[in-house]
Structure 1
């Protein structure tokens, strides 16, 4: 049992039975900040900026939320910064996703463990997509995978996570369901963020892109990329409704990237409760529902302990999958 929990148990009953709202009201945020653990243009950057803007528009935070892009190690640099240098910052939150749980599951953050930070809440799920440049010869996902089967060296797939990260795992899941047995032969090229990965696709350096609906939205709107498949159980609503799922094309693959936040492990209980409550209110707002609909986000409403349990289960599942495909032992 942690020291923090021992201290909580030792508090007088009047304090121990305080409601979340009571504790949350004891904290007043000042200069809020969100770390996006990648370069601008990717999913983590989107999460920080859009949630921060919504909080500001709703008057939940004072002034504007600062967004700091801290790329490196597929989130590892940001994780280490929070754990080692900003462990008691009550005004700091960090964008997280399935990529975060993937890297934690695979031991990719040196010395990193999900218990070193506090898990706040989710703000939706972002389904994966596999796309190509607008002038690509491929028009369906089976066509792309047939080309990989015929000559694995001829197709390189870009993504905004490291080798073994969530963008890579999505491709492997879909490829396996498409009947590709030699998954390690698939060429995956990692970049620091989805924006850079799409840029390399448009430059012709790679032939396909694995990412999430939200980070690809701008490139879809501009017509620069062609979405071959959405890795969702059924077609997404809104702007992404015109794109077929992998399932529609005979490939039974689903890849949902949850989006949410963690906080420094030493954050006070009062601040933690305030952030959990505030992110929850933001998620339930009409403003955020509109943002979700226009960016291909699906519902995922988890806060506090429920979110922490969800992340723990995600870490365990990804660890098992990674062992199966040989990324880790």
Structure 2
């Protein structure tokens, strides 16, 4: 298993809504902004747009939140923008995920450390999946793996993030389980976001797509794609027809956390406000329903728990990346 989500599931938030009122009143953001470090249509974009909607609808923020898409470098352009140009901006939050911690662990964000930004929270996690076009010759994950083992370059697998990202790691883990000795030979095609990666699949530029289940859900329901393996420990309750990689002989579970960070140099009052704001949002039944609709499981970490969680995530990714040869 790639990550051990010991607390995955509905986790009670320590502070009640009433308890956060005082802290929320100490700082009020002006012209708040959320940066999605990708083009529209991917997981980071979903984080920002969902957060912007519910914080405003719940009255946690008085001004509507601007969502800015800033793709490039697997999130590195946005990370550099925040750390170098807006390090003291109290009104800025940024979408983050497993890919963010993976890039820090692997040195893809050059010289970056966890403390270069302030990680605010996780509020959900979702499982990765491998998809093909609806009319693809591949009806099972096993069929595709057999072709990859015979000729690694015969199957192009798209992902909405850079080489070495979680989208890249997931099919490498499956390939390793299938018996591939050098998983770095896997043909991974990097796109600047989940939406572009899906376009690559549907246009026939690649044979498969590695991503998060929520990014694929609409295309699955429209009949454009077939999911040949979900990287979950068991079949999803709401989608029982989708087979897991595990039941096909590949013991791989890939869960991607969803959350936010903000500038490290922001004031303590601003950091407290945004932490409590995300906690308030995470408790809202409407927000929880939105996560469920997107096939995202509740997964909450705030404050010290968040800092410890990210540190553990970075350590896990670094260890795994060394094992499969992504970093030395």
Cα shift readout 1:27-55 (whole Å, capped 9, x = no counterpart): 11221110000011111001111121122
Cα shift readout 1:54-92 (whole Å, capped 9, x = no counterpart): 222222212321100000100000000000111111111
1:23–1:269 Cα contact (<8 Å) kept? no
Deviation at 1:22, TM superposition (A): 4.2
Residue number in structure 2 paired with 1:7? none
Counting only pairs closer than 5 Å after superposition, residues 250-269 of structure 1 correspond to structure 2 as: 250-269=249-268
Determine if the alignment matches structure 1 residue 314 to structure 2 residue 309. no
Residue number in structure 2 paired with 1:237? 237
TM-score, L = length of structure 1: 0.91
Residue number in structure 1 paired with 2:108? 108
Residue number in structure 1 paired with 2:129? 129
Determine if the alignment matches structure 1 residue 298 to structure 2 residue 297. yes
How far apart in 2 are the matches of 1:69 and 1:327?
28
Residue number in structure 2 paired with 1:212? 212
1:141–1:246 Cα contact (<8 Å) kept? yes
Q: Which moved more, 1:58-67 or 1:265-274?
A: 58-67
How far apart in 2 are the matches of 1:182 and 1:108?
21
Question: Where does structure 1 differ by over 3 angstroms across 4 or more consecutive aligned residues?
Answer: 19-24
Q: Which moved more, 1:284-293 or 1:97-106?
A: 284-293
- Consecutive unaligned residues of structure 2, counting only runs of 5 or more, are 1-18
Deviation at 1:21, TM superposition (A): 5.8
Residue number in structure 2 paired with 1:271? 270
Residue number in structure 2 paired with 1:5? none
**Count of matched residue positions in the alignment of Structure 1 and Structure 2:** 310
Considering only aligned residues, what root-mean-square deviation do their CA atoms show, in Å? Answer: 1.4
- Consecutive unaligned residues of structure 1, counting only runs of 5 or more, are 1-18
Specify the SS of the correspondent of 1:299: strand
Specify the SS of the correspondent of 1:50: helix
How far apart in 2 are the matches of 1:237 and 1:268?
43
Q: Which moved more, 1:142-151 or 1:216-225?
A: 216-225
CA distance 1:20–1:282, shift in 2 (3 Å): closer
How far apart in 2 are the matches of 1:266 and 1:185?
41
Cα shift readout 1:159-213 (whole Å, capped 9, x = no counterpart): 0111111100011111112222221221001010011011011111110100001
2:36–2:44 Cα contact (<8 Å) kept? yes
How far apart in 1 are the matches of 2:20 and 2:319?
35
1:21–1:273 Cα contact (<8 Å) kept? no
Specify the SS of the correspondent of 1:25: helix
How far apart in 2 are the matches of 1:293 and 1:62?
26
